[in-house]
Amino acid sequence: MVGREIPLADSSFACLALLEDETCQLFELMVKKAEDSETSLLLDIILQETRKHRELLKHLSRILKEAPIVSSQECDMGEWFKQALGLTRAIKAEIQQGMRVTEAARRLIDFEKDIGEEYTTEAHTAARALVQENQAVRRVLESIAAEEEGHAEILQLVTRIAKK
């Protein structure tokens, strides 16, 4: 980035990092409460990648000099963001109240697919000018999107293992 000033952005990446943080908390709980070691291992893959996503998004937010985000109410990311945050928090609460991890995995399959699509959309809308100008930002978002889609596949495997 030497010799090039990165344009200022809104707080999109900080908000996405906040969502990834909530998702980390959910998967930490799922790994801990998993019914068997195979499920725990598979969920840990998602947890580790989600932690990486959170840190990459925080890094993007810092280098883009975004305004810091203290709470989700500060994020103007549209209805999908509110729904994703709400679903993540609701499933976490339900697991704490006794919902089986495999049931949580079933409910999260579509969520993970949708999140991958949202990263792709984010890369092509709100951050369009930045992403087109900055190859690194585009690569980070594409990488996260691909891994999010892989999370849905892992969750499907978790549900198949539970049926055995």
Q: Which domain holds residue 48?
A: 12-163
Judged against a pLDDT cut of 50, whether residue 35 lies above it is answered with yes
Q: Domain count for the chain, please give it.
A: 1
CA-based nearest residue to 58, from 110, 10, 7, 20: 20
pLDDT in tens, 40-55: 999 999 999 999 999 9
Cα separation values, 143 from 6, 56, 84, 108, 148, Å: 20, 10, 20, 20, 9
Report if residue 159 sits inside a domain. Answer: yes
Share of the chain above pLDDT 90, in %: 43
146: confidence class by pLDDT, cuts 50, 70, 90: confident
CATH number at residue 60: 1.20.1260.10
Report if residue 7 sits inside a domain. Answer: no
pLDDT computed for residue 130 by the predictor: 61
Say which residues have a Cβ less than 8 Å from residue 19's Cβ, sequence separation at least 6: 81, 84, 85, 88, 115
Report if residue 61 sits inside a domain. Answer: yes
Question: CA 70: distance to chain centroid?
Answer: 18
Judged against a pLDDT cut of 60, whether residue 75 lies above it is answered with yes
pLDDT in tens, 96-107: 999 999 999 999
Report if residue 151 sits inside a domain. Answer: yes
Regarding predicted confidence, which is higher, 78 or 70? Answer: 78
Report if residue 107 sits inside a domain. Answer: yes
pLDDT computed for residue 74 by the predictor: 82
